[in-house]
Amino acid sequence: MKKYDYLLLRFGEVTLKGRNRARFEKAAVEHVRALMRPYPDAKIRREFGRIYVDPGSEPVETLIPILQNVFGMTSLSPVRAVQPELDEIIRAAGELIEDMELDRETTFKTNVRRVWKDFPYSSQESNPLVATPLLKRFSLLKVDVRNPELELRVEIRDKAAYVYGEVIPGVGGFPLGTNGKALLLLSGGIDSPVAGWSALRRGLELECIHFHSYPFTSEKAKEKVIDLAQGLAEYAGKVRLHIVPFTEVQTSFTQMGQDNLMITLMRRAMLRIATKVAEREKALALVTGESLGQVASQTLPSMNVIERATELPILRPLVMTDKDEIIRLSRKIGTYETSILPYEDCCTLFVPKSPTTNPNLRIVNKIEAVTPNLERLIEEAAAGTETIELLAGGARLRREAAEAEAAIKQDWF
Interatomic CA distance for residues 261 and 356, integer angstroms: 6
Q: Which is nearer to another protein, 13 or 337 (CB)?
A: 337
* Alpha-carbon distance values, 373 to 118, 341, 350 (Å): 79, 35, 20
CB of 78: closest distance to another protein in angstroms?
Answer: 23
Q: Which is nearer to another protein, 1 or 407 (CB)?
A: 407
397 binds another protein (CB under 8 A): no
CB of 223: closest distance to another protein in angstroms?
Answer: 9
406 binds another protein (CB under 8 A): yes
- Looking only at residues 317 through 356 of this chain, which bind another protein when binding is defined by CB under 8 A? 337
Interatomic CA distance for residues 63 and 226, integer angstroms: 25
Q: Of 70-78, 164-172, 367-375, 405-413, which part binds another protein (CB under 8 A)?
A: 405-413
CB of 248: closest distance to another protein in angstroms?
Answer: 23
CB of 407: closest distance to another protein in angstroms?
Answer: 5
Q: Of 17-25, 123-131, 189-197, 398-406, which part binds another protein (CB under 8 A)?
A: 398-406
Q: Which is nearer to another protein, 353 or 409 (CB)?
A: 409
Cβ neighbours of residue 66 closer than 8 Å, sequence gap 6 or more: 35, 36
Q: Which is nearer to another protein, 48 or 412 (CB)?
A: 412
CB of 413: closest distance to another protein in angstroms?
Answer: 5
CB of 348: closest distance to another protein in angstroms?
Answer: 17
CB of 166: closest distance to another protein in angstroms?
Answer: 23
Cβ neighbours of residue 252 closer than 8 Å, sequence gap 6 or more: 371, 372, 373, 374, 377
- Cβ-in-10-Å burial (0-12, 13-18, 19+) of 87 comes to exposed
* DSSP assignments along 158-223, one per residue: SS-EEEE---EE---SB-TTTT-EEEEE--SSSHHHHHHHHHHHBT-EEEEEEEE-TTTS-HHHHH
CB of 333: closest distance to another protein in angstroms?
Answer: 16
CB of 358: closest distance to another protein in angstroms?
Answer: 37
412 binds another protein (CB under 8 A): yes
Interatomic CA distance for residues 123 and 130, integer angstroms: 11
Interatomic CA distance for residues 199 and 316, integer angstroms: 9
407 binds another protein (CB under 8 A): yes
Q: Which is nearer to another protein, 41 or 219 (CB)?
A: 219
61 binds another protein (CB under 8 A): no
Nearest to 110 by CA among 168, 64, 156: 156
Q: Which is nearer to another protein, 22 or 407 (CB)?
A: 407
Beta strand segments in 253-304, E: 286-287
Interatomic CA distance for residues 32 and 69, integer angstroms: 9
CB of 326: closest distance to another protein in angstroms?
Answer: 19
- Site size toward another protein (CB under 8 A) is 13
Amino acid at 232: L
Q: Which is nearer to another protein, 138 or 343 (CB)?
A: 343
Beta strand segments in 14-72, E: 43-47, 50-54
- Looking only at residues 244 through 283 of this chain, which bind another protein when binding is defined by CB under 8 A? none
Q: Which is nearer to another protein, 37 or 399 (CB)?
A: 399
CB of 7: closest distance to another protein in angstroms?
Answer: 25
Q: Which is nearer to another protein, 297 or 338 (CB)?
A: 338
Interatomic CA distance for residues 156 and 209, integer angstroms: 50
Q: Which is nearer to another protein, 145 or 340 (CB)?
A: 340
Q: Of 100-108, 138-146, 301-309, 399-407, which part binds another protein (CB under 8 A)?
A: 399-407
**162-192 burial code (b ≥16 CB/10 A, e <16):** bbbbbbeebbbbbbbbbbeebbbbbbbbbbb
Kind of pairing, strands 141-143 and 161-164? unpaired
Q: Computed from CA positions of residues 187, 188, 191, 192, in that sequence, does the dihedral angle turn out positive or negative?
A: positive
Site map (CB under 8 A) of another protein, residues 203-222, x = contact: ---------------xxx--
Q: Which is nearer to another protein, 220 or 308 (CB)?
A: 220
Kind of pairing, strands 181-185 and 205-212? parallel
Residue ranges in contact with another protein by CB under 8 A: 218-220, 337, 402-403, 406-409, 411-413
